[in-house]
C-alpha cells in the first residue's frame, strides 16, 4: 500500500472546516460554563491538580492574565512546551489537538483575543486561571446582574 501524493489528497478544506467547527464549539462550550458557574469549582480533567502543580513549577513566567503569544511560540518556548506536553500524551485525550485560548482573561473569544494553542496549553493555562479565581469574574458579574434585575 502506498500513501497518496499531495495531488491525490482531496477535501483538505473540509478537514480544516471540521477542525474549526470542533475548536469553535469547544471554545463556546467552555465560555458558557465559566459564565454559568464559579470557575474555581470546575475541573477540566481528572488530573487538574497534577497539571496545575506541574505547570506552575515548569512555567512560572507565564502571565495568566494576559498570555504573551510570542513567549509561547518562541523557538525556546516551543521546545519547553513540547517537552512538557509529551508527558501527558497517554494521559489526556486529544492532548495535542489544536484549541482556541483567550489571550486576556477578562475578554471573550474574539478575533483579537484568541490564539491557537495545543489542548495541553489550553488546559494548563485555564486550569491555573480557574484555580486562582481569574475566571470567576464572569460568573460573579452574571450573579450581580441578576440581583440588580
Q: How far apart are CA 49 and CA 133, in angstroms?
A: 15
Q: What is the pLDDT of residues 69-98, one digit of tens each?
A: 999 999 999 999 999 999 999 999 999 999
**Number of independent structural domains in the chain:** 1
Would you say 116 and 80 are in contact if contact means Cβ atoms under 8 Å apart? no
Residue 111 lies in a domain: yes
Name residue, grid cell 450581580: 144
Which pLDDT score, from 0 to 100, does residue 13 have? Answer: 64
Residue 100 lies in a domain: yes
Which pLDDT score, from 0 to 100, does residue 8 have? Answer: 52
Residue 9 lies in a domain: no
Helix axes 75-86, 119-131, angle to 10 degrees: 80
Q: How far apart are CA 117 and CA 72, in angstroms?
A: 9
What are 49's three cell numbers? 491538580
Residue 1 lies in a domain: no
- Any idea what the CATH number is for the domain that residue 122 is in? 1.10.3560.10
Q: Tell me the residue range of the domain where 113 lies.
A: 15-148
Q: What is the pLDDT of residues 30-81, one digit of tens each?
A: 999 999 999 999 999 999 999 999 999 999 999 999 999 999 999 999 999 9
Which pLDDT score, from 0 to 100, does residue 18 have? Answer: 77
Amino acid at each position: 500500500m502506498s500513501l497518496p501524493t499531495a495531488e491525490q489528497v482531496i477535501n483538505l478544506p473540509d478537514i480544516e472546516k471540521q477542525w474549526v467547527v470542533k475548536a469553535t464549539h469547544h471554545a463556546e462550550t467552555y465560555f458558557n460554563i465559566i459564565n454559568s458557574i464559579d470557575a474555581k469549582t470546575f475541573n477540566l480533567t481528572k488530573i487538574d491538580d497534577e497539571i496545575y502543580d506541574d505547570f506552575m513549577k515548569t512555567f512560572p513566567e507565564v502571565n495568566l492574565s494576559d498570555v504573551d503569544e510570542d513567549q509561547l511560540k518562541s523557538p525556546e518556548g516551543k521546545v519547553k512546551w513540547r517537552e512538557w506536553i509529551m508527558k501527558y500524551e497517554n494521559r489526556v485525550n486529544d492532548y495535542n489537538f489544536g484549541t482556541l485560548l483567550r489571550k486576556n482573561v477578562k475578554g471573550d473569544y474574539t478575533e483579537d483575543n484568541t490564539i491557537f494553542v495545543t489542548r495541553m496549553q489550553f488546559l494548563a493555562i485555564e486550569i491555573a486561571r480557574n484555580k486562582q479565581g481569574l475566571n470567576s469574574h464572569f460568573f460573579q458579574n452574571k450573579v450581580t446582574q441578576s440581583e440588580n434585575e
